[in-house]
Amino acid sequence: MHEMAIADALLRMILELTKDCTDRPISARISCGQLNAVNPDALCFAFDVLAKGTRCEGMRLDIQIIPFQASCKGCGHVYDIEQQYRCPRCGRDQFVLMPEQPLVLESVDFEGD
């Protein structure tokens, strides 16, 4: 379960980012590519376990999964490739797969915000 390692890294990052803040962090927004194989429920569970006894205890993780994308070789349009291989703009079926989106800590919200 690599979610435990990811949760540990997220917790450390949030604790470092918030060490000089007086308000307690209450939620964090995270995004990651569809192929990162992150199970959102497992990640939230692992984070909850690791955050016990820290200022991040009780934080909510909002995880956005970014669909896999392609760039049309004909018109350059970037589109989600989940259920369609043809470009929705020009109809061509020749594309280049875009790089997978990394896991990113987008934002942290605090009490009183």
Q: Is there a contact between 61 and 30 (Cβ–Cβ < 8 Å)?
A: yes
CATH number, span 3-67+101-110:
3.30.2320.50
HSE on the CB side for 106, CA within 13 Å? 15
pLDDT digits 0-9 by tens, 68-95: 999 999 999 999 987 788 999 999 999 9
Residue spans of the domains in the chain: they are 3-67+101-110
What predicted TM-score, i.e. pTM, was given to this entire model?
0.82
DSSP 36: G
Reply yes or no on whether the pLDDT at 44 is more than 90.
yes
